[in-house]
Amino acid sequence: MFRQIRQDIQVIFERDPAARSIIEVVLCYPGFHAIVSHRLAHWLYTKKRVLLARMISQISRFFTGIEIHPGAKIGQGFFIDHGMGVVIGETAEVGDNVTLYQGVTLGGTGKEKGKRHPTIGNDVFIGSGAKILGSIKIGDHVKIGAGSVVTKPVPADSTVVGVPGTIVRHMGVRVDNIEIESPEEDPSSRQEDLPDPVHEMLKCLMDRVSQLEQTLGEKEKRYDVFEIIQHDESSKRGV
């Protein structure tokens, strides 16, 4: 256990230039507190001490702002920087040397059963606020940009950005897009297919503006502006 703790501390020194001393890491790094608590909770979870494991994970969540379900499997060299708002689901699997920033979610879509959370490969970097949803696999050496929403599998050695997540680099070569076949799923559970009310409202407004412009164009063709002005002046003189 102490060997594992020393390794977790060493990982922080390797990836965070702000870390200055061991005592600072032990006392001031919520990501370190969360991973140490999770290792204990996960051990209890595997021993069928589910309630005690959940209690430890919830206490850790209260103090760190990081929620890791005790059932999640996390490899060596795991590092959470800052960490507030990180959520890792029960059936999530995280490989070795993975780095997460604040606000990352390894969650489900709400429609799946059994294995419903993502599997993350080795040497993966996930930026702030990224959401990886569903029982999908993220390959080794993948980088996921901040704020991305990933709902499809990602091959190894890729860079993903955007909503929905789009592969912009693969095997070191920049690409426009790579379409990846996703596993069979309930269409109602696809996050990227959910309606966008703002987009729908703007579309309706644009359609209405186009309709009004067309109506005004037809009226301008129907009447000569100068004839209307002359008619108004004649009416005034007649009065």
Q: Where exactly are the structural domains of the chain?
A: 2-193, 197-238
pLDDT number for residue 193: 47
If DSSP states are collapsed to H, E and C, what string results for the chain? CHHHHHHHHHHHHHHCCCCCCHHHHHHHCHHHHHHHHHHHHHHHHHCCCHHHHHHHHHHHHHHHCCEECCCCEECCCCEECCCCCCEECCCCEECCCCEECCCCEEECCCCCCCCCCCEECCCCEECCCCEEECCCEECCCCEECCCCEECCCECCCEEEECCCCEEEEECCEECCCCCCCCCCCCHHHCHHHCCCHHHHHHHHHHHHHHHHHHHHHHHHHHCCHHHHHHHHHHHHHHC
Q: 13 and 52 in contact (C-beta within 8 Å)?
A: no
pLDDT of residue 196: 55
pLDDT at res. 194: 45
Record the tokens describing residue 118, joined without a space: 């993502």
Predicted confidence at residue 61, as pLDDT, reads 92
What is the pTM for the complete model shown?
A: 0.68
**2-193 topology per CATH:** UDP N-Acetylglucosamine Acyltransferase; domain 1 (2.160.10)
- Mean pLDDT for each consecutive 10-residue tract of the chain (239 residues)? 83 87 89 91 92 93 92 90 88 91 87 84 91 90 90 88 84 64 44 55 83 76 58 59
Q: What is the C-alpha to C-alpha distance for residues 54 and 38, in angstroms, rounded to an integer? A: 10
